[in-house]
Structure 1
Amino acid sequence: MKAFAAALLASIALPLTAGAAAAQEAALESAQPAAPPTLGTPRTPPKLIVAISVDQFSADLFAQYRNRFTDGFARLLQGAVFPSGYQSHAATETCPGHSTILTGMRPNHTGIVANNWINQKAPREDKEVYCAENESVPGTDHNNYKPADLHLKVPTLGEMMKAANPASRVVSVAGKDRAAIMMGGHKVDELWFWGGKDFISYDGRRVPPAVQRGRDAVAKLIAQPQEPLPVPSFCRPLMQPIQVGNQTIGNTRFARAAGDTRAFRASPALDGAVFAIAAGLIQDMKLGQGSAPDIISIGASATDYIGHAYGPGGGETCLQMAELDKTLGGFFAALDSWGLDYEVVLTADHGGHDVAERQQQRAMPMEARVTTDVSVKAIGEAIGKQLGIAGPVLLGSEGDVYVADSVPANREQAVIAEAAKRLRAHPQVAAAFTREEIAAATIPTTPPETWTLAQRAHASYDPARSGDILILLNPRVTGIPTPGPGYVATHGSPWDYDRRVPILFWRKDMAGFEQPQSVETVDIVPTLAATISLPVRGLDGRCLDLDSGPGDTCR
C-alpha cells in the first residue's frame, strides 16, 4: 500500500524525472532496510538541516517498534542513536518540549512553562494564555486566538544561522501551530501549520505555490471517504477492542467519512500532508542549494492526536508507526532524488502514557485516573469557605495553581499554605511545590534521570508565568478524570515515561553507533551547530560527538 505521503508528494512536489520517481516509489514500497552506508564521518558542513519532531514519540514507543521499522526510521537507525534522550523538565507538554528542541534551552529559559498559563493582567476576560498566541488581540481567548511567536524568549537555531549569515533560509511546517512556531522561531522565511480546515500561517503572508498545491491536494483527499487501513501482521495482536468510558477503542483503522477534518487530523494522513508540503517547499525554494546552510523544521503531530484519542498502547498507534515509517521513507527518497546534502535529527517533544483501563488489563492494576477532588476549583472553594474569602480563591491551568488577584494580599500566604497542605495530603499527589521551593532548587550536573522532582520543576519554572503552587501527580495516575472522544490518554507528568524520548541523527556516509546513556534534547542545537561550524555559547545543552571513532565533531 502506498503511504499517504506518496500520493500527496505526487501532487505537491514538482514532477521528478522518470528514474527519480521510480526510485522514490521503490523506497516507499520496500519492505527491507536500506543497505548500510559506506562507513565514514563527513567533515564538510551539510547544506540542509532537517529537524523532525514526532509529537508524543516516547522512548518506550521507539523501543517497542524499532525492530518493525523497514523504511524511513530504518535509515535513521543507521546513524547516531540516542534511545534515552530527555525532555528533562517536569512540564512534559507539546509547547515546552518543542521550545527546547531547536533553542538548546530548557523551558525555564525559553519562558514556555506549559501549553497554557494564567496571566491575571491579560487585557481580556479570559486570563488563561495559550503559549503560541497574542492575548492582546481583542475578541480572543485561549481557545480562539491569534497565533503568534511572542512568548518564546530565546532564539532558535534558525535565527542563530540567519544572524551568522543572512543567506540562510529558515522554514517550519507542522501539524500544530505551537510546533511550527517554537521550532521555527521569530525570523522565518516560511512557517505553515494545520489550522483545522487548511494549512495556514500567522502573519497574513502570501501563500507560496508549494503550500497552495498542498492545500489543494489535502482538500481533494479530505473530500473523499477514507477506507479502513490494512493492518500489518505485527499490528494484528494489538487490534484488541477495549471499553473506555462510553466508547470502544483499540482497533480503529482510520476509516473517515468525506469531509471529516477532525478525523483527518487524528490520522496518519496528517503527517503525510505535513511532509509533502515540507518537500514541496524544499524543492520550490531550492533549500540546501544556496551559499549558506538552510534549516527546515517539521512537526509530525499525528502520533500525539492518535495517542490522546486512542492511547499509545493499542492498534491505532501501531498503524500510525507503520504509516509514519513509510512517510519518512518517501520524504527522504524525494530529498535523495534531488541530490541534496542534508543532515537529519529526529526527536520528540514529550512521551506519553497509555490508557489506564488498558494498563489495568496488562499487569498494572494500580493504574488510575485522577479523582475530581484534586481539581483546583474544588480545593479553592473549600479554602474560601474555611478562611471566609469570597471566590474565586484559586485559578488553575495545567498543573499550575495561582492565587486569584481578588484574594487580599494579607491572606495570600494563608491560602498558599492551606492549598499546599490539602494537596500534599491527597493520596494521588506526589508533590505540591510552592514557587519559593521551586525557585530554590537548582539544575544539577548529574544525569537527568537522577534529578529530584523539585529540580525537574525548576527546569520549567518562570517566575513571571508559573503558578504559586505546582501539582505533580503520582506515577501511573492519568490526569484525565473522565475520558471522552479524542481524549482518553495524556502526558505532562515529571515521570520518565513522559520525559524520555529518542534522539536520532543521520547523514549520508555517517558511521552509525548507539549510545544508551542519557542525553537531553537541549543537546541538539550545539550538536547541529558544530556540524555547520556555527559558534554557539550560553546554551543549556552540550555538543554530542557524532563521530563513533577517535574523531570529534564537536571540535
Structure 2
Amino acid sequence: MKKIVLGLFLILVCSAQAQQRPKLVIGIVVDQMKAEYLDRFYDDYSSNGFKRLMANGFSFYNMNYNYVPTYTAPGHASIYTGATPATHGIIGNDWYVRETGKNKYCTDDASVKTLVAGSEKEGMMSPKNLQATTVTDEFRMATNFRGKVIGLSIKDRGAILPAGHFANWAFWYSKSGNFISSSFYGDKLPDWVAQFNAEKRYLEYIQKGWDLLKPAADYTESLADDNPYEGRIDKSKPPVFPYDLNAIYKEAGADIIRTTPYGNDLLADFAMRTIEKENLGKNLDPDFLTVSFSSTDYIGHTFGPRSMEIQDTYLRLDLTIARFLDYLDKTIGKDNYLLFLTADHAAAENPIFLKDHKYEVTNIPSKETVKGIEAFSLATYGVNLLLNYSNFNLYLDRALVQSKNLDFDKVKQSFKTYLMNLSYVKRVYTQEDVLNSSGGDYLLSYIFKGYDPKQNGDLVVLHKTGFMEYNETGTTHGTPNSYDTNVPLLFYGWNIPKGVSYQKEYITSIAPTLSKLLKITFPNGTEAQVLEEVLKK
C-alpha cells in the first residue's frame, strides 16, 4: 500500500513539474518577413492567422537585428543561440576560408551522408559549424534528452541551425521533391518521412497553378502585376498571374515549388505529419518543433517587396498559419503549446523603383565591384592582391603582400581609400577598426557583433542607405539599415499575456526569454537580455 501511495505521489510531483512547461514549443521563422507586412496587409488577413496571434498574444513591433550581415543562416543562428555571429560563428550563408581558398557553406559537413538516394550533396549537412548552443540544445539537456527537438524547413540551414547540435532530427526539402536528412541525425530516414515523400504532395500544389487568392482590385498595397522591378520564374513569359506551374515544372522540376506560396503549404503539411508521427506534445516531457517558412524569401528575392506576388504569398501564408493553429488546438490543446513567430531578416526596397521615384540610389552589381577592386590593385601594385570579395568583406592575399615586401597596413589603407572614393560607399573598416570598436560608432557596432577575426576579411564595406548590391529586379538584404533589420516578433499561447510593445528590442533576446519561460539554462553564448513583458503573467 505504501508503495502505491508513493507511486501516486511521484506521478503527481512529475505532473506538477511538467505543468511548469508547455507540452509543445513551436518556433516559426518566416524568411525575409518585414515587420511592416503585418500592418500593410492587415485588412486582407483572415481573423484566424496573423490577427489571432496579434490579438491574443504579445506583439513586439520594434524587434531588430543588431549585427551584419543580415542573412538567413546568421539570422536563424542568432534567434536560437541568443548570440550574434561574432560569438556563434555563422558569419554568412557561406564565407571564404583562407586556409582552403574556397567558400564554406554554413552547414556543410563532408563527414556525413544523405539518407535519401539521389540527393547526395544536398544531404551532406550538419550543425557542426555552429559554435554556440541553442535554446533547443539547452532544452534537450534540461529534459535529460527525453524531450524531442525536430527542425523543419524548405532550406537546409533553416532546419539545421534552429534545431541545434542535439536535435533528434532535422528535415529539409530537396530539389528531387523529397524531404531529406543526413546521417548526423540517424542511420535511416524514418518510415513516416519516406511515406510522406512517396505521396509526392508537391505535385498536388503544382497542378493547381498559382493565381491570385483574391480579386486583383483588392491588391491595392502592391504595384501593378506587370512592372519592371520584378524577376521571373518562367523565363519565357512576363511575371504576371496566373502562373502555369505545370509548364514551369517540366523545365525546373520539383524545385519550382520553393518560389511559390505552396512551398509554405507543403512545409505546414509536413509539420503536422511530424507532430502526429513523432507524438510531439504527448509525453510527460515537452517537445520543441522549429519551422522555417522559406518560400517568402525566394519570392521576395525574385519579385520584390512591392509585388502582387509577395502580397498574395502573405495572404496565403496567413491562411496556412490559421490552419496550423487549428491543428495545434485540436491535437495539443489550445492552452498547452507555446508559439513564437519572427523572421531571420527583412528586405530592402528595389533601388531602381526608388530611383524612378527620384531617390538617387541604384543597384550595385557585385561583379563590377570586384572588377574595380582588381583594377585598382593592378594599377597600384602591379598584381591582384584581392583573394575574395563576399558578404561585404575583402580578403587580401597576405602571402603575396609579404612576398612583394609591401607594408600590409599601408596596403589596407590604400584599398580603404579607394573604396571610400566610390560614390555608393558609406564606410570602410579594417580589422583593427572593428576589433578596437568603442561602441560609439553606431554602424561599426553592427559590424563588431557580426565579425569573427578568424573567419572574416581584412576590410568590411558598408554601402550608403538605399543602395543595394544585387540585380536590377527583385530585392535582397544584408545591411544594418532598418529595412533589413526590422522584423516581427509574436509570442502566443501557454502563459503568454496579451500586450503590445513598441520599445526597441533585439533578436538576441528571444532565446534567453524562451529559456526563462521554459525554466532552463541560457544558451552558452547569449548576453542574456530578456523580454520581461512576456515573463510577467
TM-score scaled to structure 1, two decimals? Answer: 0.82
**Percent of paired sites with the same residue:** 24
- Aligned counterpart, 1:276: 269
Pick the aligned partner of 2:364 from 356, 365, 370: 370
* CA shift in 2, pair 1:339/1:185, >3 Å: closer
**Does residue 66 of structure 1 match 2:38?**
no
Pick the aligned partner of 2:532 from 545, 549, 552: 545
- Aligned counterpart, 1:7: none
Pick the aligned partner of 1:463 from 453, 460, 475: 453
- Aligned counterpart, 2:303: 310
Pick the aligned partner of 2:228 from 243, 250, 275: 243
Between stretches 321-330 and 44-53, larger displacement belongs to: 44-53
Alignment check: 8 A CA contact 1:110 1:154 kept: yes
Alignment check: 8 A CA contact 1:120 1:405 kept: no
Structure 2: distance between partners of 1:46 and 1:69: 28
Letter of the 2:400 partner, please give it: V
- Aligned counterpart, 1:379: 373
* CA shift in 2, pair 1:457/1:262, >3 Å: same
What is the deviation of 1:225? 5.7
Letter of the 1:243 partner, please give it: P
Letter of the 2:410 partner, please give it: A
What is the deviation of 1:407? 1.6
Structure 2: distance between partners of 1:127 and 1:145: 20
* CA shift in 2, pair 1:339/1:222, >3 Å: closer
What is the deviation of 1:328? 0.5
Pick the aligned partner of 1:234 from 218, 233, 250: 218
Letter of the 2:246 partner, please give it: A
Between stretches 184-193 and 530-539, larger displacement belongs to: 530-539
- Aligned counterpart, 1:28: none
Is the partner of 1:257 in helix, strand or coil? helix
Structure 2: distance between partners of 1:344 and 1:473: 36
Alignment check: 8 A CA contact 2:67 2:450 kept: yes
Between stretches 525-534 and 62-71, larger displacement belongs to: 62-71
What is the deviation of 1:509? 7.2
Structure 1: distance between partners of 2:42 and 2:324: 19
Pick the aligned partner of 1:180 from 141, 144, 159: 159
**Does residue 426 of structure 1 match 2:422?**
yes
* CA shift in 2, pair 1:509/1:221, >3 Å: same
Pick the aligned partner of 2:396 from 397, 403, 412: 403
What is the RMSD of the two structures over their aligned residues, measured on CA atoms? 2.7
Is the partner of 1:274 in helix, strand or coil? helix
- Aligned counterpart, 2:204: 221
Is the partner of 1:76 in helix, strand or coil? helix
Between stretches 428-437 and 239-248, larger displacement belongs to: 239-248
Is the partner of 1:498 in helix, strand or coil? helix
Q: Which structure 2 residues correspond to residues 463-502 of structure 1 after superposition, within 5 A?
A: 463-480=453-470, 482-483=471-472, 488-502=474-488
Higher-helix-fraction structure: 2
Between stretches 316-325 and 524-533, larger displacement belongs to: 524-533
Is the partner of 2:32 in helix, strand or coil? coil
What is the deviation of 1:408? 2.9
Structure 2: distance between partners of 1:416 and 1:167: 52
- Aligned counterpart, 1:55: 31
* CA shift in 2, pair 1:159/1:534, >3 Å: same
State the Cα deviation string for residues 318-360 of structure 1 (Å, max 9, x = none): 0001000001111111111113311111000000012223334
Number of residue pairs matched by the alignment: 490
* CA shift in 2, pair 1:48/1:459, >3 Å: same
- Aligned counterpart, 2:14: none
Alignment check: 8 A CA contact 1:306 1:312 kept: no
* CA shift in 2, pair 1:368/1:205, >3 Å: farther
Alignment check: 8 A CA contact 2:230 2:307 kept: no
What is the deviation of 1:237? 5.8
Structure 1: 5+ residue stretches without partners: 1-41, 445-450
* CA shift in 2, pair 1:472/1:505, >3 Å: same
What is the deviation of 1:252? 4.1
Alignment check: 8 A CA contact 1:254 1:267 kept: no
Q: Which structure 2 residues correspond to residues 428-467 of structure 1 after superposition, within 5 A?
A: 428-442=424-438, 452-467=442-457
TM-score scaled to structure 2, two decimals? Answer: 0.85
* CA shift in 2, pair 1:152/1:369, >3 Å: same
- Aligned counterpart, 1:9: none
Structure 2: distance between partners of 1:67 and 1:196: 35
* CA shift in 2, pair 1:243/1:545, >3 Å: same
Letter of the 2:345 partner, please give it: H
Pick the aligned partner of 2:294 from 286, 301, 304: 301
Alignment check: 8 A CA contact 1:249 1:310 kept: no
Structure 1: distance between partners of 2:210 and 2:157: 30
What is the deviation of 1:58? 1.3
Between stretches 85-94 and 252-261, larger displacement belongs to: 252-261
Structure 2: 5+ residue stretches without partners: 1-17, 114-120
* CA shift in 2, pair 1:250/1:315, >3 Å: farther
Letter of the 1:214 partner, please give it: F
Letter of the 2:72 partner, please give it: T
Structure 1: distance between partners of 2:410 and 2:359: 38
